[in-house]
Amino acid sequence: MKKVILSLLVILCMVSTIGIAKSANYVASDVATVKMQQIDDQKVMLEGTIVSYSGDEKFVFQDATGEIVMEIDNDEYRNPQDIIGVHIRAYCEVEVKVYGTSVEADRVEIL
C-alpha cells in the first residue's frame, strides 16, 4: 500500500513539474512585436482582451499595441459570446501565413 501511495505521489510531482515547464517555454510578448518579428511557431504569452468573434473558433484579440486574430479551441469556452470583452492571458503559438500573422491559443486564463 505504501508503495502505491509513494508511486502516485511521484507521478503527481512529475505531472505538476511538466505543467510548470510548459508555461516557462512561452515568451511574454505583445501584438506589435508578434506582427513585426513574424517568427512562425514561436511560443508567446499575450495579455489583453477578446474584442470580437469572427467565426470558426477565430477571435480578434487586442492589447495596448494592436489587434491580431487568435484561434481559441471551443473547449476553452461554452459560447463564443461569453468571452467577448473578457481580459485574458493566452499562451499561444504564432502562425505566419501568406495572408498574415495570427496566433493559436494553446491555453487561456481569464484574469
Q: Which residues contact 101 (CB under 8 A, 6 or more apart)?
A: 34, 35, 38, 68, 94, 95
Collapsed DSSP state (helix, strand, coil) of residue 41 = coil
Q: What is the pLDDT of residues 36-91, one digit of tens each?
A: 999 999 999 999 999 999 988 999 999 999 999 999 998 888 888 888 999 999 99
Q: What is the largest CA-CA distance in the chain?
A: 58
Cross-strand pairs, 88: 48, 110
Q: Which three three-digit cell numbers place residue 82?
A: 461569453
- The number of residues making up the chain comes to 111
User: What pTM value is reported for the model?
Assistant: 0.76
Gyration radius of the chain over CA positions: 17
Q: What is the pLDDT of residues 11-51, one digit of tens each?
A: 444 444 344 445 569 999 999 999 999 999 999 999 999 99
